[in-house]
């Protein structure tokens, strides 16, 4: 299984996280075999470092640094509100 890479440069990668996927391994579901971080790492051939998370049922753009420093800086930008996540809910019924 592969994920859609929306953007990649020397510092970061942005992927389209499907609904139902965990971002990383978690005690919430120890038996889960497919997670975004592992899939992206296998796909691009290098370690990735999460800048933020999206809940399992949420789909959308997920940013990851390609170094621990890039991941830390991206994460800080979210924490300091220099970057924002915007959610759009699609409901039926």
Taking the CA atoms of residue 47, residue 38, residue 14 and residue 72 in that order, the dihedral angle to the nearest 10 degrees is -50
Nearest C-alpha neighbor of 78 from the set 60, 66, 67, 64: 64
Active site residue 55: yes
The per-residue b/e assignment along 55-84, b for 16 or more CB within 10 angstroms, e otherwise, is eeebeeebbbbbeeebbeebbeeeeeeeee
Tell me, rounded to whole angstroms, the distance of Cα 62 from its chain centroid. 3
**Active site positions, annotated:** 55
């Amino acid at each position: 299984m592969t994920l859609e890479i929306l953007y990649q440069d020397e510092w970061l990668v942005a992927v389209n996280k499907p609904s139902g996927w965990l971002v990383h391994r978690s005690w919430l579901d120890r038996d889960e075999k497919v997670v975004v971080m592992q899939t992206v790492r296998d796909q691009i051939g290098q370690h990735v470092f999460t800048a933020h998370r999206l809940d399992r049922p949420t789909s959308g753009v997920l940013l990851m640094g390609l170094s621990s420093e890039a991941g830390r800086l991206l994460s800080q930008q979210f924490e300091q509100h220099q970057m924002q996540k915007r959610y759009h809910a699609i409901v039926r019924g």
